[in-house]
Each structure stands twice: as structure tokens, then as C-alpha cells.
Amino acid sequence: MSWRIDPDGSMGIRKHFESPYRPGEKIKIGEYYQYIFERVPGLPKTAKTEGLTELEYMQKYGTFEIEKGESYKMNETLLTKEQLEGSEVDPVNDVVRKNGKDIGVMIKGQAMVGCPTPSRKNEFYSQTMVDWKWPEYAVPQYLKSHIHLDNLDKSKGEYVLVPTFRLPTLIHSRSGNAKWLVEISNRNPIWMHPDDAAKWGFKTGDLVKMNTDIGYFIDKVWVTQGMKPGVVACSHHIGRWRRPQDKTGNRWATNTVNIEGDGKGGWKMNTISGIKPFESEDKDSKRIFWKDGGVHQNITHAVHPDPISGMHCWHQRVRIEKPGPEENYGDIFVDTNKSHEVYKEWMKMTRPAPGPNGERRPLWFKRAFKPDESTYYIDKKEE
């Protein structure tokens, strides 16, 4: 899609998907990995000794050791003379600082890289928690979360739902285009311990209604000793969908659904049809034998922003019951009004920024792509 939406390259997108070996042509999967493996330190030389390309070497062995020896004590890596040139040591905490940036720490008289923390040490006491208004959690401790047993009412059929566990054959929902993987795993039943199943009178394949804080979804039960009593689980890879009016995209792993609103903030989704064989350039598309595309559970989960980090707390409190006579496999309902109410409840538990010096988030936290430092301040920092 990224290739198609920028046909002439004027948007600056197409160039990122162009083959590095065939100018003007779309990159292929093999070329993508070849380009990566060519840049792995030591791999080109090793592959050459066997008369293989880097890609062929990885296809043959599947792994390559980049660093020999100890890889678990990177914090003890000694700073080089070049790194230490022009640096200074803080007399209070022994942190090595250069050009205003912490680059290491003195340990037993040696300058080491240390850990990626303000003290460059593995911190038991976190000054960051104090600085950001959470002093009671400055040292590690046990917290009772929203799905702790004390917060569940077993008399109402409440359980802990684990909606994030991974099947070994899939990668989130991104492997929906991988036909061989979808062939292996294409449904996401509710994993349930035999004791819980017996309590409800469920057997494998029976329908179960999973009520969340903001709605529900209806799935099938899979009875297994692999679950702890009192906890149920639903794999998060599966349950992709499209509407009849949507442009046809992935058909290996998407159900066709209908979505209707009640005009009061409630939305219901039901499955019109599952997976079907289809005509394409890939002959395997006509050989699809599975029909079940799973159930889309994510949309029924309330937004639970962790009060400290802001990250979503995925585990859900659910109430289990048997579906009614008019309720079917794949049915989903969400009340957006309740969703917003839950969001506001969790927001009340936060202690908002700013932090030290007007920061919107700690400067030392790692980011996959760190923005300009000026963006970390709510009010523009005075130079």
C-alpha cells in the first residue's frame, strides 16, 4: 500500500520502499533481508568464507553471533580514552559527565558505561519517582492492580482476562498476510481451566459471553489444563475484520462484519461471513479451507492508562455468562459513553506533569526515536 499511494514519488514515501539493487522497482522480501544482513558486523565476511551471500547464510543457519563472550555485563564496558577526553566526574555520585551529558560512572576506580539510569547504576531507590510526585513508590513494592483478586467479585462471575498472550505462530496481527501462519492459527477461543468450565457447564466449542467494563464479545470456549483456575485468556493476534463497503484488503484473516450504532453511543458488530477461498495471483488463495477468522476482542476493552507511565493496562476484569438465544459467535457490543467514563476514572488517578524544570516526561527515558529535547518541556525552555 505504501508503494501504491505514492506512484510518482512526489510524496517522499515511495523511495523508502524502493529496491536498493533494482532502482525504480519495489523492494522484495529477500532484498529487504539481504540489505539488513549486509550491515550486520562480521556476517559478510563469515558468509563469504562459505561462498554464500549474507541472506543465504542466514537461511542456512538462522542465527549469527555478533559479539563473542560475555553479553550480559554491557554495563561494565570501560569508557575509551576518546570518550573520557574532556569529561569530568561528579564528586557526589561518581557519574562521568561530558558536555553536560552523563556518559558513565566510576566503579572501583574504573570509568564504566553503567546502566541507562540517572545514576548510571541499577537503581533500587528512584529519585525520578520522587521528582514526578510518586514518592511512596520510590522503592519497589507490590501493588494491587485493578484485576487483583480483592477487586473481583466471584459471586458475579468476575474473572481476570489475559488478552495479550502470544501464540508461537503469529506476530501480533501483523502476520495476517502470512498465509502459512494463518493456516495454522486462525481462531482465538477463550482458554479456560477444566474446573471453571465445569462450574459453568462449558465444554470445548461452547459459546461464552465475555462482559467487559464497556461492552461484551462472544467467543468459544477451549477447555485446557494450560490455564490457572480463576483466569481466562484470549489470544490477541486474531479477530481482524472489514465491512462489505470497505475496499478489499487482506482476505486470508479478516471476517466480513456489519456495524450498527444505536444513536446513544452504543455500537454493535456482528459477523456476516468468515474466511472464504478467493481468486488471486496466488493459487493458494483458492485452497483456503478454514472459515473462522476469530473474534475482535480489543474494541471491547476499556482504556486503562497506567497512572504513572501512561501505558495501557491490558489485563481486563470480565464477567462471564452464557449468551442469550439471539446472541451469536463473533457478536461484539461497545458503549462509547461508558468507555469515556472509565477513561476519566483512570485519569483521576494520575498526577499530571509538569515535572522538574517544566518537563512533560523524564529526559532520560529511552525512546525508539527521540524527538528534539525542546519538545520535552510544556513551556518553551529558556535558552
Helix, coil or strand: residue 329 = coil
**Left (φ > 0), alpha (ψ -120 to 50) or beta: where does 69 sit?**
left
Distances (CA, A) of 180 to 62, 234, 287: 19, 21, 12
Residue 380: its pLDDT value, please? 58
Q: 232 near 191, Cβ under 8 Å?
A: yes
Residue 383: its pLDDT value, please? 44
Distances (CA, A) of 198 to 91, 221, 227, 228, 324: 65, 12, 14, 14, 19
Residues 288 and 316 in one domain: yes
Residues 378 and 328 in one domain: no
Which residue's C-alpha cell is 531507590? 125
The DSSP bridge partners found for residue 332 are 217, 269
In a domain, 280, yes or no: yes
Q: What DSSP assignment string belongs to 127-174? A: HHHHHTT-GGGSS------TTSGGG--GGGTEEEEE-----TT--TTG
Q: 316 near 212, Cβ under 8 Å?
A: yes
Q: What DSSP assignment string belongs to 175-229? A: GGG-HHHHHH-----EEE-HHHHHHHT--TT-EEEEE-SSEEEEEEEEE-TTS-T
State which amino acid sits at residue 65.
Answer: E
Residues 364 and 340 in one domain: no
Please give the Cα distance from 45 to 65 (Å, whole number).
Answer: 13
Residues 109 and 36 in one domain: no
Residues 281 and 171 in one domain: yes
In a domain, 297, yes or no: yes
Residues 172 and 279 in one domain: yes
User: Of all residues in the chain, what percent are helix, strand and coil, respectively (each to 5)?
Assistant: 25, 20, 55
Q: 223 near 202, Cβ under 8 Å?
A: yes
Please give the Cα distance from 274 to 294 (Å, whole number).
Answer: 9
In a domain, 324, yes or no: yes
Q: Can you read off the three cell numbers belonging to residue 172?
A: 501480533
Residue 205: its pLDDT value, please? 97
In a domain, 339, yes or no: yes
Q: Can you read off the three cell numbers belonging to residue 197?
A: 468450565
Please give the Cα distance from 200 to 217 (Å, whole number).
Answer: 17
Residues 32 and 88 in one domain: no
Residues 84 and 207 in one domain: no
State which amino acid sits at residue 156.
Answer: K
In a domain, 236, yes or no: yes
Residues 371 and 306 in one domain: no
Residues 81 and 20 in one domain: no
Residues 28 and 168 in one domain: no
Q: Are strands 158-162 and 231-234 parallel, antiparallel or unpaired?
A: parallel
- Tally of structural domains, the chain: 4
In a domain, 309, yes or no: yes
Supply the range of the domain harboring residue 323: 149-347
pTM, two decimals, is 0.80
Please give the Cα distance from 182 to 283 (Å, whole number).
Answer: 16
Please give the Cα distance from 200 to 208 (Å, whole number).
Answer: 10
Residue 298: its pLDDT value, please? 92
Which of the residues in the chain have pLDDT under 70? 380-383
191-220 pLDDT, tens digit each: 999 999 999 999 999 999 999 999 999 999
Residue 172: its pLDDT value, please? 77
Please give the Cα distance from 107 to 361 (Å, whole number).
Answer: 29
Q: Can you read off the three cell numbers belonging to residue 138?
A: 520510590
Residue 139: its pLDDT value, please? 96
Please give the Cα distance from 120 to 114 (Å, whole number).
Answer: 5
Tell me which long-range contacts 375-379 makes (C-beta under 8 A, separation of at least 24): 378/353, 378/354, 379/354
Residues 22 and 86 in one domain: no
